């Protein structure tokens, strides 16, 4: 089978030519002063894009490692979490919390709705002793967001720390870690910024460090240890790594940040992603399909969930689009795998007319499989939105 001509999934995302060239650079010795300088500078640049002055741990593994490290670092026997669930990533997160001895209060809403901050306020007041709140900023298997900008300050007012899985919202929509009191935020290289799946970017507030230091079961001497990063890298003048970093992933990420800056910076990136999302939603609806999100305000800038129409399965549609048209789309995960077709519009895919490719391939495939759709109306709606100036 040939490579897909277009990879338009909920992540990983395609890399630009510049980022791919950086990935192919010669390996640099990790404690070469040039690499140390570049790595340290990258930490500060990423912090800037996340809106924080907190420490950054650039963990050398895919985002799930950063999430698990944060979960285990903050959780000891009896640590009480409020876990806010409107999708599969949040549901999985609770497994680590329980495994680490945490007590988990679950607040689950239907997966096509967002968490209501008023409920968070009420639950925190009712319990009075919740230590930490976990929230997923955007669930990529459905394209649903949560109002993290309201949830963080509410948790803070109740004396609880907030951990936000902002992997998919990073540079695709607003993320203001400090203003929103996000004690731990986890983002990654392989979604909006368009680098490789290989790096977890974790910001940690002083209060979150204090909790980890006070937690006897926080990992130490482990690949999952944020405290090792703190003592052996951050607090040791950043002169020696814990282990050899994935040098080329780091270089690719650094160049992805350069490119984002050259394309107008963070604000421009958010505007591009918002336009691609609007175009996708307009095209989906004009074609006669249904969005997953009940309310458009809860739909993400990074990816759009489409309800699988009657008469076909998500697997049939995804496979047909891939085999016949060379376009890779993705489906929901877990319980959502059979219900949702996802169109990713992150990074490179938020530029130019990639959304048009995704929708015409989806429309053609559905028509091939016997589902009536108006492909022309969809294409027209996408083109209209994409022609709006940024």
Minimum distance, C-beta of residue 372 to ligand PLP, in the bound complex (Å): 32
**Cα–Cα distance for residue pair 265/30, rounded to 1 Å:** 28
CB of 299 or CB of 365, closer to ligand PLP: 299
Closest CB to ligand PLP among 140 and 301?
A: 140
Task: Give 297's contacts (C-beta < 8 A, 6+ positions apart).
Answer: none
Residues that bind ligand PLP (CB under 6 A): 11, 62-64, 89, 136, 139-140, 165, 167-168, 188, 191, 197
Distance CA 270, CA 64 (A): 24
- Of the pair 62, 254, the CB lying nearest ligand PLP is at 62
What distance in Å separates the CA atoms of residue 58 and residue 41, rounded to the nearest whole number? Answer: 12
Please identify, using beta-carbon distances, which residue of 64 and 84 lies nearer to ligand PLP.
64
Of residues 76 and 147, the one with the C-beta less far from ligand PLP? 147
Indicate the burial class of 156 (C-beta count within 10 angstroms; 0-12, 13-18, 19 or more): middle
Alpha-carbon span 345 to 7, nearest angstrom: 10
Contacts 24+ apart (CB under 8 A), 307-316: 307/339, 307/340, 308/338, 308/339, 308/340, 308/341, 309/366, 309/371, 309/373, 310/371, 311/369, 311/370, 311/371, 312/366, 312/369, 312/370, 312/371, 313/338, 314/338, 314/339, 314/340, 314/341, 316/369
Q: C-beta of 62: minimal distance to ligand PLP in Å? A: 5
DSSP state of 364: H
Q: 101 or 197, CB closer to ligand PLP?
A: 197
Query: Residue for token digits 């950086």?
Result: 22
Angle between helices 33-50 and 247-262 (to 10 degrees): 50
Which residue lies nearest ligand PLP, judged by its C-beta?
A: 140
Min dist CB 163 to ligand PLP, Å, is 12
Nearer Cβ to ligand PLP (197/245)? 197
CA–CA distance, 164 with 138 (Å, rounded to integer): 10
Smallest gap, in angstroms, from Cβ of residue 63 to ligand PLP?
4
Burial category of 194 from C-beta neighbours within 10 Å (exposed 0-12, middle 13-18, buried 19 and up): buried
Task: Determine contact, residues 69/59, Cβ cutoff 8 Å.
Answer: yes
Nearest to 38 by CA among 30, 49, 27: 30
Nearest approach, Cβ of residue 32 and ligand PLP (Å): 30
C-beta closer to ligand PLP: residue 164 or 360: 164
Rounded Cα gap, residues 138 and 301, in angstroms = 9
Minimum distance, C-beta of residue 142 to ligand PLP, in the bound complex (Å): 10
C-alpha to C-alpha distance for 343 and 369, rounded to whole angstroms: 19
Least distance in angstroms from the C-beta of 297 to ligand PLP: 19
CB of 197 to ligand PLP, least distance (A): 6
In the complex with ligand PLP, which residue's Cβ is closer, 67 or 212? 67
In DSSP terms, 162 is beta-bridged to: 133
Least Cβ distance, residue 22 to ligand PLP (angstroms): 21
Cα separation, 314 vs 292, in Å, equals: 13
Cβ closer to ligand PLP: 11 or 117? 11
Q: Give the integer Cα–Cα distance in Å for 99 and 76.
A: 10
Gap between the Cα atoms of 314 and 335, Å rounded: 12
Minimum distance between the CB of residue 381 and ligand PLP, rounded to whole angstroms? 26
């Amino acid at each position: 089978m040939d490579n897909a001509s277009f990879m338009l999934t909920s992540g990983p995302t395609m890399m630009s030519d510049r980022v791919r060239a950086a990935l192919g650079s010669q390996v640099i010795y990790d404690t070469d002063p040039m690499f140390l300088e570049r790595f340290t500078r990258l930490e500060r640049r990423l912090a800037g894009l996340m809106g924080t002055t907190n420490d950054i741990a650039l963990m050398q593994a895919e985002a799930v490692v950063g999430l698990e490290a944060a979960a285990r670092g903050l959780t000891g026997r009896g640590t009480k979490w409020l876990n806010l669930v409107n999708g599969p990533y949040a549901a999985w997160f609770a497994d680590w919390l329980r495994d680490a001895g945490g007590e988990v209060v679950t607040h689950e809403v239907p997966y096509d709705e967002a968490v209501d901050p008023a409920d968070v306020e009420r639950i925190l007041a009712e319990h009075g002793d919740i230590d930490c709140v976990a929230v997923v900023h955007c669930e990529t298997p459905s394209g649903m967001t949560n109002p993290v900008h309201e949830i963080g300050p509410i948790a803070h007012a109740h004396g609880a720390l907030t951990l936000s899985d902002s992997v998919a919202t990073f540079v695709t929509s607003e993320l203001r870690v400090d203003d929103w009191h996000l004690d731990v935020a986890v983002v990654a290289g392989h979604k909006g910024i368009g680098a490789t799946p290989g790096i977890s970017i974790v910001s940690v507030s002083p209060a979150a460090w204090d909790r980890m230091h006070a937690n006897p079961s926080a990992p130490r001497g482990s690949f999952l240890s944020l405290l090792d990063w703190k003592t052996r890298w951050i607090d040791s003048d950043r002169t020696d790594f814990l282990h050899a970093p994935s040098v080329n992933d780091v270089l690719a990420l650094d160049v992805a940040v350069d490119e984002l800056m050259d394309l107008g910076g963070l604000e421009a990136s958010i505007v591009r992603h918002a336009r691609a999302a609007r175009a996708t939603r307009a095209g989906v609806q004009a074609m006669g399909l249904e969005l997953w999100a009940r309310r458009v305000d809860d739909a993400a800038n990074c990816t759009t969930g489409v309800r699988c129409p009657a008469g076909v399965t998500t697997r049939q549609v995804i496979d047909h689009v891939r085999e016949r048209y060379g376009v890779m789309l993705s489906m929901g995960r877990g319980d959502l795998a059979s219900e949702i077709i996802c169109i990713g519009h992150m990074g490179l895919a938020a530029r130019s007319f990639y959304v048009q490719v995704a929708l015409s391939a989806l429309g053609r495939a559905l028509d091939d499989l016997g589902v009536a759709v108006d492909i022309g109306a969809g294409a027209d709606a996408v083109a209209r939105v994409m022609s709006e100036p940024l």
